[in-house]
Amino acid sequence: MFHLDVHDLIRHYGYPAIFFFLFIENFGIPVPGQAFFIVAIWLTAKGELQLLPVALTAFVASVLGGTVGFAIGRRGGHKVLQEYGRYIWITPERLAKAEGFFAQYGGGVIVLARFLEGLRQIYGILAGSLNISWRRFLLCNIAGASLWVAVWIGLLLWFGRHVRHIWEVFRENQPYLLLGVGCAAFLAAGVLHLVNRAKKTESPSAEPRVSPEGDSTRTTADL
In the chain, what is the greatest distance between 2 CA atoms, to the nearest angstrom? 86
Clarify whether residues 66 and 147 are in a common domain.
yes
Domain that holds residue 123: 6-165
Same domain, 177 and 161: no
Dump pLDDT digits (tens) for 114-159.
888 777 888 888 888 777 888 889 999 999 999 999 999 888 877 7
Tens-place pLDDT, residues 58-80: 999 999 999 999 998 888 766 66
Sorting pLDDT into bands at 50, 70 and 90, what band is 199?
A: low
- The pTM (predicted TM-score) of the whole model is 0.65
Domain count, the chain: 2
Burial 86-118 (b: 16+ CB within 10 A, else e): eeeebeeebbeebbebbeeeebebbbbbbeeeb
Do 184 and 146 sit in the same domain of this protein?
Answer: no
Do 126 and 188 reside in the same domain of the chain?
no
Indicate if 178 and 95 belong to the same structural domain.
no
Q: Domain for residue 207, yes or no?
A: no
> Considering the domain boundaries, does residue 141 fall inside one?
yes
In a domain, 212, yes or no: no
